[in-house]
């Protein structure tokens, strides 16, 4: 189709003069797949438009938030109304209670909700609360789950099945990373062993109940219930990080889908409708430890910002206005996943396809993928060929093998058909290698 990236290449070079690596979040630089990231000029519905005039069907959706599609009229109208009334007051508004009510309706386990400005802030704050409430210090996380970039969770596993975390970035103190224990996802036995050894000192287990940060990896049958049982029996808190899967795998997130009640939940992405928002919440008796109700300090100049609240409210109200919304989202995503799988098979590729609600992913491996180690059997070079061919055929996917794809309400059947048609070219190129 003759996609060119001339202006984006120049913009990227100039951006690097002013911004580290030219981007404000690393994955945007295409470091996983090479090449030039298109610089985006605008977006509408299912489409992104870059500064070279290229048009894409977008399955990144700003990494999850844009579940209604871009510039949805209800969200845009809410923002236009809000902006005329002032952009920030640093004082309470009715909007904050309204969004908290909507969140609690969707996630009844979140009896009290505190708004913050990002998913990172939500997980950072929730760990402080968990440590304060339990008067314990250790945290357990799962290898391949991402919860944001603060020190306690920016850890990777050392060698061995269950290990004290080691920093995943220079600048993370080893003493902080060491307080986090890393275990494999979908492996309840190793988690039980960790609790047998450290149980009395574990404040909380934090998990993406549907993992989206090693590619899309759903929990195995019964796994989340086991995690719930183990944490309960040791008096540790269970934290569901539903920043990505909340309002995605179901309106009420993974906890509604699998019928598991965590003690605390983190949200982000969809609840901000594309503006910077995160939230954490959970059991009232725990959440009442947060200042000013309790002694655990956590604050924010822009927390509960009226523009962000307005976009979030409009998004959640639009999602619930159509009783068929989630059936349609899931149906379209499943149709896409099946279409992609059929094309891959046509070219003799045996890949792994995952889909849950409006999230999907494929792995360039013939091995089943259920945790980080199995995900990393994927051939990232094959993914890069697939990714660039899709991009040059107008399909914008996350530029990494280890990220999920997101469907929106704005994607049409024609979009999905075009995506499947483009995938035939992309899989053909992969098969040719």
Q: Does 148 bind ligand PMP (CB under 6 A)?
A: yes
Number of residues that bind ligand PMP (CB under 6 A): 16
- Stretch near ligand PMP under the rule CB under 6 A, chosen from 83-91, 130-138, 208-216, 370-378: 208-216
d(CA 244, CA 133): 25
Contacts of 167 (CB under 8 A, 6+ apart): 154, 155, 156, 173, 174, 176, 177
Residue of 123, 163, 255, 305 interacting with ligand PMP (CB under 6 A): 123
First vs last Cα of the chain: how many Å apart?
21
Q: H/E element holding 313? A: helix 306-321
CA–CA separation, 74 and 61 (whole Å):
17
Among all residues, whose Cβ is closest to ligand PMP? Answer: 119
Q: How many CA atoms lie within 13 A of 247 on its CB side?
A: 30
Catalytic residue among 56, 59, 133, 146: 146
Per the annotation, the verdict on 58 as an active-site residue is: no
Q: For ligand PMP, give the closer residue by CB, 8 or 152.
A: 152
Least separation, in Å, of the C-beta of 36 and ligand PMP? 23
Provide the edge-to-edge strand list for the sheet that holds 40-44.
40-44, 47-50, 55-58, 395-396
Least Å distance between CB 348 and ligand PMP? 33
**Nearest Cα to 116, choosing from 303, 388, 315?**
303
241 part of the interface to ligand PMP, by CB under 6 A: yes
Longest CA–CA separation in the chain, Å:
62
Active-site residue identified among 151, 241, 263, 371: 241
- Among 238, 239, 244, 409, the residue binding ligand PMP under the rule CB under 6 A is 244
Q: Which member of 59, 185, 234, 269 is catalytic?
A: 269
| 151 classed as catalytic | no
As given in the structure block, the two tokens for residue 378 are 């994927």
Radius of gyration of the chain (CA): 21
Distance between CA atoms of residues 99 and 242, nearest Å: 16
Using an 8 Å Cβ cutoff, are 335 and 416 in contact?
yes
Q: Which two tokens stand for residue 30?
A: 């295409």
Strand (E) or helix (H) holding 431: helix 413-432
Q: Which of 63, 251, 364, 370 binds ligand PMP (CB under 6 A)?
A: 63
Of 174-182, 205-213, 374-382, 424-432, the segment contacting ligand PMP by CB under 6 A is: 205-213
Residues forming a β-bridge with 140: 181, 205
Of 187 and 242, the one with the shorter C-beta distance to ligand PMP is: 242
Any contact of residue 399 with ligand PMP (CB under 6 A)? no
Q: Is the peptide bond before 292 cis (omega within 30 degrees of 0)?
A: yes
- Of 8-16, 146-154, 321-329, 380-388: span binding ligand PMP (CB under 6 A): 146-154
Q: Could you identify the residue written with the tokens 């995900």? A: 375
Among 140, 243, 250, 307, which residue interacts with ligand PMP (rule: CB under 6 A)?
Answer: 243
Question: 316 or 398, CB closer to ligand PMP?
Answer: 398
- The piece of 51-59, 239-247, 256-264, 365-373 that touches ligand PMP (CB under 6 A) is 239-247
Judged by beta carbon, residue 65 or residue 394, the one nearer ligand PMP is 65
Catalytic residue flag (residue 234): no
Taking the C-alpha atoms of residue 191 and residue 197, their distance in angstroms, rounded to an integer, is 10
Tell whether residue 213 is a contact of ligand PMP (CB under 6 A): yes
Q: What is the secondary structure of 371-393 as a DSSP string?
A: SHHHHTTS-HHHHHHHHHHHHHT
8-state DSSP, 418: H
Dihedral of alpha carbons 340, 386, 72, 208, sign: positive
Task: From residue 126, give the alpha-carbon distance in Å to each of 113, 171, 207, 246.
Answer: 11, 22, 12, 16
Minimum distance from residue 76 beta carbon to ligand PMP (Å): 22
Q: Which is nearer to ligand PMP, 116 or 287 (by Cβ)?
A: 116
Phi/psi of residue 76, nearest 5 degrees: -65, -40
Instruction: Please give the sequence-ordered ranges of beta strands (E in DSSP) within 208-336, or none if there are none.
Output: 237-241, 264-268, 278-282
Does residue 120 belong to the site contacting ligand PMP (CB under 6 A)? Answer: yes
- When binding is defined by CB under 6 A, the residue of 38, 268, 273, 312 that contacts ligand PMP is 268
Q: Choose one: 41-49, 144-152, 283-291, 386-394; the region binding ligand PMP (CB under 6 A).
A: 144-152
Any contact of residue 208 with ligand PMP (CB under 6 A)? Answer: yes
Residue 427: CB minimum distance to ligand PMP, A: 27
Considering only 8, 118, 134, 152, the residue that binds ligand PMP (CB under 6 A) is 118
Pick the binder of ligand PMP from 38, 119, 179, 405 (CB under 6 A).
Answer: 119
Q: In the complex, what is the shortest distance from the CB of residue 214 to ligand PMP, in angstroms, rounded to a whole number?
A: 11
For binding to ligand PMP (CB under 6 A), which residues are involved?
A: 63, 118-120, 123, 146-148, 208, 212-213, 241, 243-244, 268, 278
Q: What residues are annotated to the active site? A: 146, 241, 269
């Amino acid at each position: 189709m003759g996609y060119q990236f001339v202006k984006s290449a120049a913009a990227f070079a100039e951006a690097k003069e002013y911004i580290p690596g030219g981007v404000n979040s690393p994955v945007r630089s295409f470091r996983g797949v090479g090449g030039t990231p298109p610089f985006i000029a605008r977006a509408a519905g299912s489409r992104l438009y870059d500064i070279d005039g290229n048009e894409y069907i977008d399955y990144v959706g700003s990494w999850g938030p844009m579940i209604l599609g871009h510039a949805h009229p209800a969200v845009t109208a809410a923002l236009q109304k809000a902006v005329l009334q002032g952009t920030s007051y640093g004082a309470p508004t009715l909007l904050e209670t309204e969004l908290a009510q909507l969140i609690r309706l969707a996630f009844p386990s979140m009896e009290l909700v505190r708004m913050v400005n990002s998913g990172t802030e939500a997980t950072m704050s929730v760990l402080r609360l968990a440590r304060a409430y339990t008067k314990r210090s250790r945290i357990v996380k799962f290898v391949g789950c991402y919860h944001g970039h603060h020190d306690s969770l920016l850890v990777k596993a050392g060698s061995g099945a269950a290990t004290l975390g080691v920093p995943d970035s220079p600048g993370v103190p080893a003493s902080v990373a060491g307080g986090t224990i890393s275990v494999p996802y979908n492996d309840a036995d190793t988690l039980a062993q960790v609790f047998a050894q450290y149980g009395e000192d574990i404040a909380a287990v934090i998990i993406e109940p549907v993992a989206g940060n090693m590619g899309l990896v759903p929990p195995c049958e019964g796994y989340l219930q086991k995690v719930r049982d183990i944490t309960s029996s040791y008096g540790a808190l269970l934290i569901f990080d539903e920043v990505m899967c909340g309002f995605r795998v179901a309106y009420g997130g993974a906890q509604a889908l699998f019928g598991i009640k965590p003690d605390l939940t983190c949200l982000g992405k969809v609840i901000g409708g594309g503006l910077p928002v995160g939230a954490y919440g959970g059991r009232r008796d725990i959440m009442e430890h947060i200042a000013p109700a309790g002694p655990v300090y956590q604050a924010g100049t822009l927390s509960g910002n009226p523009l962000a609240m307005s976009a979030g409210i409009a998004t959640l109200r639009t999602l619930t206005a159509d009783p068929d919304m989630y059936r349609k989202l899931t149906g379209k995503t499943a149709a896409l996943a099946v279409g992609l799988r059929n094309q891959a098979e046509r070219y003799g590729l045996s890949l792994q396809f995952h889909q849950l609600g409006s999230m999907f992913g494929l792995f360039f491996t013939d091995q089943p993928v259920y945790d980080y180690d199995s995900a990393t059997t994927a051939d990232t070079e094959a993914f890069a060929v697939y990714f660039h061919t899709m991009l040059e055929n107008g399909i914008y996917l996350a530029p990494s093998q280890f990220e999920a794809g997101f469907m929106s309400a704005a994607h049409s059947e024609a979009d999905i058909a075009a995506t499947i048609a483009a995938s035939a070219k992309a899989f053909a190129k992969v098969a040719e290698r």
